[in-house]
Chains A and B, each alone.
Chain A
Amino acid sequence: QVSAALKEGRVTPMELCQQCLSLIKSTKFLNAYITIAEETALKQAEASEERYKRGQPLGVLDGIPVAVKDNFNTAGIETTCASNMLRGYISPYNATVVQKLLDQGAVLLGKTNLDEFAMGSGSTDGVFGPVRNPWSYSKQYKEKSVPKSHSEDKESNWVITGGSSGGSAAAVSSFTCFAALGSDTGGSTRNPAAHCGVVGLKPTYGLISRHGLIPLVNSMDVPGILTRCVDDAAVVLGSLAGHDPKDSTTIQDNFKPFELPSLTDVSKLSIGIPKEYHAPGLSGEILALWSKAADLFRNAGAKVVEVSLPHTCYSIVCYHVLCTAEVASNMARFDGLEYGHRSDMNESTESMYAATRREGFNDVVRGRILSGNYFLLKQNYEKYFVKAQKVRRLIANDFVKVFQSGVDVLLTPTTLSDAAPYKEFIKEDNRTRSAQNDILTQAANMAGLPAINVPTALSERGLPLGLQFIGRSFQEQQLLTVAKWFEKQVQFPMIQLEEVKRHDHDVFQHEKSASF
């Protein structure tokens, strides 16, 4: 919609950019952004405006303000991964996906906040502080929350965004940008998308280049896309997907960007409901919502079947071992010598490395590195690492079997409940929280399958609840088509932010109607 507005001249890229920048300033309390690239963004907007004046926009994304998670390299802009280890690190190059966005004329507003090195499920463990969910400040949440006493500071009741791409999700949800990049290793794009009421797409592993994405787990990482509607996600996907000679884990098949058809007939669809996703701790609300969604498909004529993915309960343990092992390897590059933080300790190379890493990493990162090294010790290699790799195959095979039996798309919850208040969330440590929250999203990363969170309804507390669709490998078109149909059916309400005054309603509004 906004792209059409730009084309027709109803709004200019400079206006859009400036509005977004001023909105970012007025929503600073959300702590969604780590770095705001104001100067470069305005320059990009100016260039875009020139192109529109000449009638030669680069494409649909020309002039569209976007934000990028701070673990993607961006030339000339600080990239920190929310860690002291990379504070002050100015990337010398753009990640491929960032470059692709810029080549399409998108305006990069800034880098968003995350959990340190994308480890976590709350966006609470970065050195720049936690990200606040914009819905904490929405009319919908405030109406439903009962203050414990009149003197209670309403500020202290804010809820988390989920993680680890919380900053990106918050940025999209609070209208400061139209699309954002996140990364997804265990659910890091879909989890905050569900909590912030936005669409979060995890593409198939191998579809989008990881070149320039600071790696966590090389065999599971993918760049994630966060937008306000499924159509937008398809547009961004179209501009990012495809083989990259700089990333040999991208497949070589030709990728053709697609437009999503508006499905009217779902009778040929087969939706699978994996029973193991009725995980312990799943809130009654989400269970009811999941059930309602299944009924929605059934009543519309689709075939809805219960399926089984028996190894689901082991995916977290498996992830735990494989993730820590790969992290131990990937974090080894941070030694202070070529980039990033360097300790003043100068007695020997090893002691300098040790001191640098001691000073640069937080507890979560250090903990994972040590665990990973333990699992990779010669005496433990077979018992843990190889064993986890075998379990991974079992998990991936579960999915293969289910899709072979005729199921097109799986429907599952994305999170166990709505967003928790920050004060509650921090009562348990990072690993426990991750283990609890990743259970519904992790298996898709294990198997490399595409998955998307679609905001579905509001919870009793007035916070977003989302449902997840998991598709077949490289069948993003089918997955997104189903997601789009579902999105249309549920008509998720728009966030009503009181503290934010929007001048141009035409540009920022999407459909606004009754709830599901």
Chain B
Amino acid sequence: QKVSVEVLDHLEHLALVDFRDSEGVERLQNAIQFADQLHEVNTDAVEPMDSVLEDRCLYLREDDVTEGNCTKELLENAREKVEEYFVAPPGNIPLPKLEERDTFLQGS
């Protein structure tokens, strides 16, 4: 089955990455088809595995400050900054809806 335009649009929103052209959409379709092979495997009564180190305790260190004070170094790599702040454009403006966006998905 093909993926619906609503889902594709939803994905573009979630990922903040666009499909760009039909090849991108096809790539996703192929990826899904490929992944469907998983359903051939019988996994009844099998627990999902998060990590190969699941039999060990995760290391937690003491809640002490051991490093920091590197504001200058960290700000160096940012393009837009003011004093000690990273500057972002306004955040309360949502991405335009599908009909209003200049996206490849408009055509499909």
Asked whether A337 lies within 8 Å of B28 as measured between CB atoms, the reply is: no
Which residues of A in the span 360-385 have a Cβ within 8 Å of any Cβ on B?
A: 361, 363, 366-367, 369-371, 373-375, 377, 383-384
Asked whether B74 lies within 8 Å of A314 as measured between CB atoms, the reply is: no
Q: CB of A193 within 8 A of chain B?
A: no
Q: CB of A262 within 8 A of chain B?
A: no
Q: CB of B63 within 8 A of chain A?
A: no
Q: Chain A 333-376 against B: per-residue CB contact (8 Å), 1 yes, 0 no?
A: 00111111010011111111110011001010011011101110
Q: Please give, as numbers and ranges, the residues of chain B lying within 8 Å of A337 by CB-CB distance.
A: 78, 80, 86, 88
Asked whether B17 lies within 8 Å of A396 as measured between CB atoms, the reply is: no
Q: Please give, as numbers and ranges, the residues of chain B lying within 8 Å of A342 by CB-CB distance.
A: 79-80
Secondary structure class of chain B's binding surface, majority of residues? loop
CB of B102, distance to nearest CB on chain A (Å): 11
- Contact segment of A39-47, A122-130, A248-256: A248-256
Beyond known contacts A350-B94, A393-B49: 12 more, CB 8 A cutoff: A92-B74, A206-B53, A219-B50, A248-B61, A321-B38, A328-B15, A336-B79, A340-B77, A354-B16, A354-B95, A389-B50, A393-B47
Asked whether B14 lies within 8 Å of A205 as measured between CB atoms, the reply is: no
23 contacts between A and B (CB under 8 A): A248-B60, A248-B61, A249-B58, A251-B56, A314-B37, A338-B74, A338-B86, A339-B77, A348-B93, A350-B94, A350-B95, A351-B95, A352-B88, A353-B16, A363-B27, A367-B28, A370-B19, A374-B31, A383-B39, A384-B38, A387-B39, A394-B41, A447-B52
In the complex, what distance in Å separates the CA atom of A324 from the CA atom of B51? 16
In the complex, what distance in Å separates the CA atom of A311 from the CA atom of B40? 11
Asked whether A219 lies within 8 Å of B89 as measured between CB atoms, the reply is: no
Secondary structure class of chain A's binding surface, majority of residues? helix
Count residues on chain B whose CB falls below 8 Å from chain A CBs: 57
Q: Please give, as numbers and ranges, the residues of chain B lying within 8 Å of A354 by CB-CB distance.
A: 16-18, 95
In the complex, what distance in Å separates the CA atom of A304 from the CA atom of B78? 57
Q: CB of B90 within 8 A of chain A?
A: yes
Asked whether A384 lies within 8 Å of B35 as measured between CB atoms, the reply is: yes
Asked whether A219 lies within 8 Å of B52 as measured between CB atoms, the reply is: yes
Which residues of B in the span 61-78 have a Cβ within 8 Å of any Cβ on A?
A: 61, 70, 73-74, 76-78
In the complex, what distance in Å separates the CA atom of A23 from the CA atom of B11? 47
The contact of B46 among A328, A394, A447, A473, by CB within 8 Å, is: A394
Q: CB of A309 within 8 A of chain B?
A: no
Q: CB of A448 within 8 A of chain B?
A: yes
Q: Which of A314, A320, A374, A394 has the largest count of B CB atoms less than 10 A from its CB?
A: A374
In the complex, what distance in Å separates the CA atom of A227 from the CA atom of B59? 31
In the complex, what distance in Å separates the CA atom of A334 from the CA atom of B50? 24
CB of B34, distance to nearest CB on chain A (Å): 6
Chain A interface category by residue count? 35 or more
Asked whether A375 lies within 8 Å of B95 as measured between CB atoms, the reply is: no
Q: CB of B108 within 8 A of chain A?
A: no
Asked whether A358 lies within 8 Å of B93 as measured between CB atoms, the reply is: no
The contact of A252 among B20, B27, B59, B90, by CB within 8 Å, is: B59
Q: CB of B107 within 8 A of chain A?
A: no
CB of B108, distance to nearest CB on chain A (Å): 15
The 9 A-B pairs of least Cβ separation, nearest first, read A448-B52, A389-B48, A348-B93, A339-B77, A390-B43, A393-B49, A92-B73, A371-B31, A349-B91
Query: Across the two chains, which residue of chain A brings its CB closest to B78?
Result: A338
CB of B51, distance to nearest CB on chain A (Å): 5
CB of A253, distance to nearest CB on chain B (Å): 9
Q: CB of A431 within 8 A of chain B?
A: yes
Q: CB of B32 within 8 A of chain A?
A: yes
In the complex, what distance in Å separates the CA atom of A349 from the CA atom of B101? 16
The contact of A89 among B7, B77, B91, B95, by CB within 8 Å, is: B77
In the complex, what distance in Å separates the CA atom of A339 from the CA atom of B74? 8
Asked whether B95 lies within 8 Å of A348 as measured between CB atoms, the reply is: yes
Asked whether B52 lies within 8 Å of A321 as measured between CB atoms, the reply is: no
Asked whether A249 lies within 8 Å of B80 as measured between CB atoms, the reply is: no
Asked whether A392 lies within 8 Å of B17 as measured between CB atoms, the reply is: no
Which residues of A in the span 211-250 have a Cβ within 8 Å of any Cβ on B?
A: 219, 243, 245, 248-250
Q: CB of A37 within 8 A of chain B?
A: no
Query: Across the two chains, which residue of chain A brings its CB closest to B53?
Result: A206
Q: CB of B30 within 8 A of chain A?
A: yes
Q: CB of A131 within 8 A of chain B?
A: no
Q: CB of A386 within 8 A of chain B?
A: yes
CB of B39, distance to nearest CB on chain A (Å): 7
Q: CB of A391 within 8 A of chain B?
A: yes
In the complex, what distance in Å separates the CA atom of A24 from the CA atom of B42? 52
In the complex, what distance in Å separates the CA atom of A303 from the CA atom of B13? 57
Asked whether B24 lies within 8 Å of A370 as measured between CB atoms, the reply is: yes
Asked whether A92 lies within 8 Å of B76 as measured between CB atoms, the reply is: yes
Q: CB of A263 within 8 A of chain B?
A: no
Which residues of A in the span 251-267 have a Cβ within 8 Å of any Cβ on B?
A: 251-252
Q: Which of A339, A383, A431 has the largest count of B CB atoms less than 10 A from its CB?
A: A339
Q: Please give, as numbers and ranges, the residues of chain A lying within 8 Å of B93 by CB-CB distance.
A: 347-351
Query: Across the two chains, which residue of chain A brings its CB closest to B57?
Result: A252
Q: Please give, as numbers and ranges, the residues of chain A lying within 8 Å of B74 by CB-CB distance.
A: 92, 338
